[in-house]
Amino acid sequence: MKDYYKILGVKHSASQAEIKKAYRLLAVAYHPDKNNGDKASEDRFKEISESYIILGDFAKRNAYDYTAGHQKNYRGQNIEAGKPTPITYLLLFKRIKDKVLHANGNVDKNNLFKVVDDLLTDDTIGFLIRVQDIATNNLIIDEILTCCIFLEGSLKASLYIKLKKLANGDVRFTEKVTLLNKQTDYITIKPTANSNEESLSKASVIMFVVFLLFFIVLIVVAGTRL
């Protein structure tokens, strides 16, 4: 994972104003128009722009920090953040999913919900629907549905409402959620009688079930379309 803070030359605790200032200075210094089309400068400019797209927006920065393990001790308000694409959001949600899958079963459910919920705003959903990159939107939905396996009750229901809106009438979303809920109802992880006895860890079981569930969902949903 790229270190966007390092690329912009700021600390992890930098304010939004400091990030914006660093971006502007670097963007001017490495802008292709000022470097006679130098390839190295052009590549550097692209990295700088990519870093600001993520760190320049509060919700995207929050999601990035969550997946990178940085302390979320910054303050600030949302500001204009360049031009993100559906892939930008897909990568962020994928990183969040990967983070929880490798957390050894130690997932802060409230924290996970807040990160996903803050990133999946109505504005974000509206943007993703307008762009009409249906394939990417479906991948985003799958990443978030995986995260929802670690949530319960009202938290999961709240995200389902947003995902249904993002699905924009696609009946496959309802089928996925229905199948996923039916399968997760059967998930139980029983403690072993002997603590010294070798067994799969809770995290390993969860990861196995997650991937198994989505194979089942994809096969069944694909079968209904044949």
Distance CA 145, CA 163 (A): 8
Contacts of 115 (CB under 8 A, 6+ apart): 62, 63, 66, 96
Domains of the chain from N-terminus onward: 1-81 (1.10.287.110), 85-226 (no CATH)
Burial 131-159 (b: 16+ CB within 10 A, else e): eebeebbbbbbbbbbbbbbbbeeebbeeb
Highest mean pLDDT among 55-59, 87-91, 170-174, 208-212: 87-91
Distance CA 156, CA 148 (A): 6
Contacts of 176 (CB under 8 A, 6+ apart): 141, 142, 145, 217, 221
pTM score of the predicted model: 0.58
Res 79 pLDDT > 50: no
Res 133 pLDDT > 90: no
